[in-house]
Structure 1
Amino acid sequence: MTPPAKPVVTMKEIARLAGVSRQAVSAVLNNRWKEIRLSEPTRRKIEAVLQQTQFKPNSLGRALVLQKSQLIGVVVSAVNYSFFPEALQGMEDLAEQEDYGLLVMTTRDNADRQEQIIRFMLDRNVDGLLVHSLPKIHRPLQDRIRQRNMPVVYMGGDGTSFFPEARSVATDGRQIGALGIRHLMERGHRHIACVDLMDCVRQGVQALLTKSSEKVQVEFWEGLSYREAWKRWHDAPVRPTAVFFMGDDMACRFLSLAIPAGVLIPNQLAVLGVDDIPAAADALIPLTTVAQPRYEQGLAAARLLLDLVKGKEAESIVLQPRLVVRQTT
């Protein structure tokens, strides 16, 4: 026999049990009790009744009252990009705590598609945008975001070229560069190739070299695939003794060419990546890497965005990387 359904507890019933008005209950639910000058004891009494009755506010009703969709738009290059799954988990965990949903769409690094996606999200009245994709959109779309007073958080770098008012959450790129190059120098390397480093990471490398009393030759190889990087290293008259890649995925693929070719890792060649994706620990030879806090970055980005949605003052966030030493250096 099916047990009888539990009676639905309404806001009116909560108000009756607490001996207050529905306005007071609504103010506590929406964290606006100070605005109506509700006393601390009254707030605590309402919260106690809410807890006792296990009251769950109707999300749709609350969204209509607050003129919020309870949706965050998430714009990313690709969901299979190694950085994204853990970052998304952080976003989801925070959004769930705050009774928000995520609308996730991929740009495939196509500028026109990115603008179409953002227009689609604006039409769906998302409450804010989390972006980890191409760093620029056209002025008319920026103006539309501005007219909607919609907060934007850009992940992975400075988001002001995407949207001038955007906040950002990123790992300290200069520190990534400094950690990586310092580690290779401490391992005795004085001829190092850096492959496709982001500008901020390259700045960190150059800043450390400027301060160092050691003479170190660093080559910056730009715009190369892992195969092209392998060929350039293999064919070099004087080969670098270490290669520093911007991503673990590229470093692991490089290893998949170097090891079968008989290159002794790390005795002949040290290889260093960035990110600490799961594949780094499972590479043919476990990869040394500069780890980015992916989950924490997603969590921090979602928290920052929701603070902005709620009208709070919030500034951009810089997270710190850490060196994970394995067997390739």
Structure 2
Amino acid sequence: MKKIFLKDIAEALNLSKTAVSMVLNNKGDENKISKATQKRVWAYARAHHYQPNQMARGLSLGKSETIGLIVPNISDIFYATIAHYVERKAKALGYNVVFSSSNEDPETEKQLIYSMLNRQVDGLIIASTQKNQEDIEELNRSKYPFVLIDRHYPGLATNYVIVDNLRGTEQMTRHLLKQGRQRIGLVSIESGLEAMHQRQLGYEKALRDAGLEDGAETVKLLSPFGYESEMKEAIRSMLHGPRAVDGLVFTTHYLAASGLRALKALGVEVPGEVALISFDELGAFDLVEPPITANQQPVEDIGRLAVEILVHEIGCKGAGMDKQRVLPTQLLIRKSCGA
């Protein structure tokens, strides 16, 4: 079936394009277009399966009804799940979503931000590399609607939805202490991300409050892209060092999965010899043996709140809404800690 355009309807009904556009944008009454004419326009549009040009409609209304989502890695289950909830909530509020991945590269992230702006998306949701402060500041100065998720810039007054990373790892470490573990190690990623820094601080706080000390030999920071090859040696050194660990805190779900594989390859019994706990949940954690204790992040709430804040910003310029959310995590206790 041939696609019809606004001008085709106007020509067929002997009306101006402006009048047809007003009717199809539900502005017929306010522009004093007769009910009979409005009925004719709608009947013709429906009979010929007219579909509006969303970009042109966005330009005429000052909106594209599209929001952009930029994440570090859309194939990561954490970000993929957030993207699912962002899309679902956006659709419910009348918006489409354009997805992009920065691959943790600040230059790619910068290009994606300006590409999205050129596409005239109404607003952005960004899980930033935290290495593009100038561009985030520019979005702020221009009062462009955006929300940061998972990661934010502590020195900037922006909209954001994050989790309480410090309290999360503090809770995890305290759980291991309650299980009788006294020599607890931390495995994290070597990065400048504030979330990773806060997770390490939470681990250190729990040990300090318990009158215990952590040391360099019980904290291992692995390469973001080489952690899989580094994991076995990191764990081996903590097991056989001067302060051999009996518990391990992993700051991400993928580190925990890699750590479990390394422990099994080394023949270490979990939780008999070493207890294991993960920040963030992975779908298979309750299926492996032993099932992994994990601190679950509220991914649905992150996605939903980010969209709600963004749409409120787009329509109301943010007035009267809490735009900075720090959400709690939930500890899912399983057998990997001896529970």
State the TM bucket, normalised to the shorter chain: 0.7 to 0.9
Does 2:275 align with 1:267?
Answer: no
Gaps spanning 5+ residues in structure 1: where?
1-9, 25-56
Which stretch has the larger CA shift, 301-310 or 150-159?
A: 150-159
State the distance in 1 between where 2:82 and 2:205 align. 29
State the distance in 2 between where 1:12 and 1:95 align. 26
Does 2:211 align with 1:206?
Answer: no
Deviation (angstroms), 1:12: 5.3
CA deviation profile, 1:263-287 (whole Å, cap 9, x unmatched) = 1110100011111121322334211
How has the CA–CA distance of structure 1 residues 316 and 13 changed in structure 2, closer, same or farther, with 3 Å as cutoff?
Answer: closer
- 1:76 counterpart residue number: 71
Deviation (angstroms), 1:253: 1.4
Deviation (angstroms), 1:82: 2.6
The residue type equivalent to 2:309 in the other structure is L
CA deviation profile, 1:175-215 (whole Å, cap 9, x unmatched) = 11121011000000111101117111222233333433x54
- 1:85 counterpart residue number: 80
Deviation (angstroms), 1:13: 10
How has the CA–CA distance of structure 1 residues 148 and 123 changed in structure 2, closer, same or farther, with 3 Å as cutoff?
Answer: farther
How has the CA–CA distance of structure 1 residues 287 and 266 changed in structure 2, closer, same or farther, with 3 Å as cutoff?
Answer: same
1:230 to 207, 230, 235: 235
State the distance in 1 between where 2:233 and 2:213 align. 23
- 2:40 counterpart residue number: none
Moved over 4 A (4+): 10-16
Does 2:321 align with 1:321?
Answer: no
**RMSD after superposition:** 3.0
- 2:30 counterpart residue number: 22
> Identity over aligned residues, as a percent?
21
Gaps spanning 5+ residues in structure 2: where?
1-20, 33-50, 190-195
State the distance in 2 between where 1:273 and 1:191 align. 17
* Pairs aligned (count): 283
2:152 to 158, 163, 175: 158
State the distance in 2 between where 1:308 and 1:15 align. 24
2:98 to 103, 113, 116: 103
State the distance in 1 between where 2:298 and 2:148 align. 16
Deviation (angstroms), 1:14: 11
- 2:17 counterpart residue number: none
1:312 to 292, 298, 318: 318
CA contact (8 A) 1:286 1:327 kept: yes
